[in-house]
């Protein structure tokens, strides 16, 4: 029974199965993004002062993550071939994915106004980043399904 449910969620093209796979890909993207954020924020960009460091961290992580996320979304969520995507589709994906760049930067800007120490603390930084990205995931799924990958589905 559990095996049947897992098979339906991983192989089906129903909206529920796609949403489930969106959370799987989203969890991977979040972990990968957190890894990139952590590396940039606390190792690579340490010579840059706050809050510019946080803004640059989000920008660099976005640039790397959006390419990886595009291919994972095509293959895993919507079960499309890696090779059949078009440049137009990729550009639409990037434009929608700008939510992943703009919203965190806006939230961090507001947090910096309220309490700039949050972005300097590793735990607070990770928790807030998880909350930001987790809250926009269902919205992104709907936009990807009905706007970005619409012609491929």
The two three-digit tokens of residue 128, written as one number: 């807030």
How far the first Cα of the chain sits from its last, in Å, is: 29
Domain borders along the chain are 15-148
CA–CA distance, 7 with 117 (Å, rounded to integer): 45
CA–CA distance, 54 with 130 (Å, rounded to integer): 15
The two three-digit tokens of residue 91, written as one number: 């550009």
pLDDT in single tens digits along all 153 residues of the chain: 666 767 667 777 788 888 889 889 988 988 998 899 999 999 999 999 988 998 899 889 989 999 999 999 999 999 999 888 899 999 999 998 887 778 888 888 998 898 888 888 889 888 988 888 788 888 888 899 999 998 887
């Amino acid at each position: 029974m559990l095996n049947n449910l897992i098979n339906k969620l991983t192989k089906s093209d129903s909206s529920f199965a796609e949403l489930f796979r969106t959370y799987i890909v989203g969890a991977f993207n979040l972990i990968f993004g957190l890894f990139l954020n952590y590396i940039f924020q606390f190792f690579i960009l340490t010579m840059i002062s706050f809050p510019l460091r946080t803004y640059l961290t989000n920008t660099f992580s976005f640039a790397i993550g959006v390419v990886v996320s595009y291919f994972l979304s095509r293959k895993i969520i919507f079960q499309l071939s890696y090779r059949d995507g078009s440049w137009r589709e990729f550009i639409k994906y990037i434009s929608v994915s700008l939510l992943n760049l703009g919203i965190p930067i806006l939230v961090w800007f507001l947090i910096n106004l309220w309490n700039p120490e949050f972005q300097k603390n590793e735990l607070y930084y990770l928790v807030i980043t998880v909350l930001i990205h987790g809250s926009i995931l269902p919205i992104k799924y709907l936009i990807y399904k009905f706007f970005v990958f619409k012609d491929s589905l």
